[in-house]
Every structure is written in C-alpha cells, then in structure tokens.
A = this chain, B = another copy of it.
Amino acid sequence: MPKQRAPRPTLAQVARAAGVSVGLASMCLTGAPGPAERTREHVREVARRLGYRPNKAASVLARHEVRRIGVVFSLRQAFHAQVIEALYQATASRGYELLLSAVTDDRAPQEAAEHLIDSRCQAIILVSTHPDDIDVSAAIDTVPIVIVGSNRSSAAISSVSVDGWAGVRQAMLYLQSAGHTRIAFADAPEASGTVDRRLGYESAMQAAGTNAHSTIVHGGETFQSGIQAAKRLQLLAQLPTAVVAHNDECAAGIIFGLKIRGLQVPEHVSVVGFDDSGFAWQSGLRMTTLHQDVAQIAALAVDEATRRIESAAGGVRPAEILVSPSLRIRDSSAPCSAKRLTA
C-alpha cells in the first residue's frame, strides 16, 4: 500500500514548528553567526524531525555567491570518468558543488554547456580529448572555461593537460637505455593530444643518432584499433623491439594482438602505454605506462577555475598548465635481449 507522498516541508514550516522566524531558522541551519547555540540546536532538531531539506533552487536564487562549477564530459571514455571522480573530490574540498552535463550523440557540447550556464555555474570545466569539442563559443564570454586534456588554451580559455612530449621522451629514454633501438610509435591522429607525444618520440629517435629510424603506425585510441595495429607492426620489414602507444587502450590492444599472433610481451616486444587508466591493470596485465595523476589534474583544474571566478572583474588572464606524467615500469617492458626476431 503506497504511502501518500508528503509534500516537502519548507523553511517557513520548520520555523513555525520551532516557534521562530524564518530568517532566524535560516541562520540556524546554514551555520551563519548570530543565533544562540540553544536556539540553533533546537531549530536543527525540529528540521530533522520534519525531514526538512533546503530547496536548492531557492537557495541558489537568493544567495549571492553560488559556489558551483560545471563539467562537460563524454560518457564513452574511461579516462573522463576518472577525472570526474577526482573533480568531485577537488570541488568538495574547496567548498564548491559539481554539476555534471554529458555530451552524447544528440547532445552537443554546446547544449551541455548551456545547461550548466543556465544553472548558474560560475565556471565550466571541459574534459575533452577532441579539439572540436571546444565549440562552446557562446559560453566563453559568460563564464570562465577550463579545458582538461587538451592544450589548446586561448585568450579566453585555460587548459590543464599532460605534457605528452616530456612523457614520451621519458619512456623513450628508458627504452633506449635498456638497449632498444628499433622503437615504433603508435599514434592516434583522431585525438588532439597525440601530436606532442609523437613529437617527443621523433625527437628522441633523432637524438639516438642516424642508425635509428622513426617508425610510426596508426594505433588509434581503442583496444580494437590496437589489435589492428599489432597486425601492422608484424607486417613491417623488421619487427620493432619496442612500441610506445598513444594510450593504454591502444597498448593493451597491441599486447593482445601480438599474443594472438604468437609473439610474447615483453620477451619479443616491449610495449609502453600512456595514461595509466584502468586498462593498465584492469586487463590483467601489469602494463608499463605513463601515469597521469588524475587527482592532481583535477585539483589544478579546479584551482584555475576558482582563481578565475574569484577575480570577478575578469582581469585575470587564462593559464595554460602542463602536468608531467611519470613512468611506471611494470611487466610489459624489458631490456632488449638477444632473443629478438629479425623478420
């Protein structure tokens, strides 16, 4: 037998039940200074008894400072999910509230951002790997925007992104000092971050001297595309002794693709991923990869957002923040041994 759904009690009702004025009740519940401790406790007790919950819409409307940040993200990417989790943490610890708005096939970034603006978010964080997600032009002169995962900041947009160049250089340095010379790179031209990573690869190959030649294959950013990349690697004139991949999904695909074709990792080929997303451990392989500190990235993004919010006049220029990933050496890489195949 379904109960009659009780209409939510309002602050006025709580106040009446407690025998105080609405204004005083508000102060008691929000923790504002003023009320006597006895009164405060009494009002709180009454509110609890009545099951009172403040109406957010009314509160946002009345309050001057809303302390609310919105985030636009895609539901398809595991890395985004990690960032969102970290953003919840980062905003909460700074006394901000986080509002989510997802991008889907029939819900453009534009629309997602508008929802957040209409909800009076004071800043928008855009979690993105694809550069064209930045088509939120309408929002630009309304609230500060911080992009996470892409370094295309502009005169109006801040960015927090990983230093792909330095990351890949780090991986290359490690592989080279482990004796590898035939190192390939699996890129993902469809993702914006890949350019810096490839440049890091190429610069490291150049630094290694003339007998090292760059080999770039299409890797893509999914497990599936990684599997296909493994095929391409095997079809090369010479099988590389090591591969650096655009991200973990791709690296995992390469590893499984090679295994299926009878090649062992790391015995025959070393594979290094990028992100240290779930895939680096979820897939059962302890993968060598470049670790991104998601908590740190989220914290920097929120800090940048609040910085620009608090300089209300708009006198602060957007920042471009780079975070260096750190190499986590695990089981998908090893020194270059004599056991190498030559075709």
Q: Which residues on A are within 8 Å of B, measured CB to CB?
A: 1-6, 8, 51, 53-58, 60-61, 75-76, 78, 81-82, 84-85, 88-89, 100-102, 104-107, 114, 117-120, 138, 141-144, 155-156, 222-224, 227-228, 253, 256, 259-260, 281-284, 312-318
Contact = CB atoms under 8 A, between A and B. Distances in A.
Nearest to A120: B57
B88 A104 contact: yes
Given A84-B102, A102-B84, A284-B228, A118 B54 contact: yes
Contacts of A259: 256, 259-260
Given A5-B141, A8-B142, A107 B120 contact: no
Contact of A156 (B2, B51, B143, B312): B2
Contacts of A102: 84-85, 88, 100
The 9 closest A-B pairs by CB, nearest first: A75-B81, A224-B284, A100-B100, A57-B60, A5-B314, A57-B61, A227-B284, A56-B118, A85-B104
Query: How many copies are assembled?
Result: 2
A59 to B, nearest CB: 8
Contacts of A2: 155-156, 314-318
Contacts of A318: 2
A78 B58 CA distance: 35
Given A84-B75, A120-B57, A5 B100 contact: no
A309 B177 CA distance: 65
Nearest to A8: B142
A287 to B, nearest CB: 12
Contacts of A58: 57, 61
Nearest to A2: B314
Given A88-B102, A259-B260, A56 B119 contact: yes
Contacts of A81: 75-76, 81
A3 B58 CA distance: 30
B223 A55 contact: no
A6 B102 CA distance: 26
Contacts of A84: 75, 102
A66 to B, nearest CB: 9
Given A2-B314, A53-B142, 10 more contacts: A5-B144, A6-B141, A53-B117, A55-B61, A57-B60, A57-B120, A75-B84, A78-B78, A223-B282, A260-B260
Nearest to A223: B283
A284 B226 CA distance: 9
8 contacts: A4-B314, A5-B313, A57-B58, A75-B85, A84-B102, A88-B107, A100-B100, A224-B283
B118 A55 contact: yes
Contacts of A138: 51
B141 A3 contact: yes
Q: Of residues A88, A105, A107, A117, which shows the largest number of chain B Cβ atoms within 10 Å of its Cβ?
A: A88
Nearest to A312: B5
Contacts of A54: 118
A314 to B, nearest CB: 4
Contact of A142 (B5, B119, B282, B283): B5
Contacts of A282: 222-224
Contact of A118 (B53, B88, B315, B316): B53
A316 B2 CA distance: 7
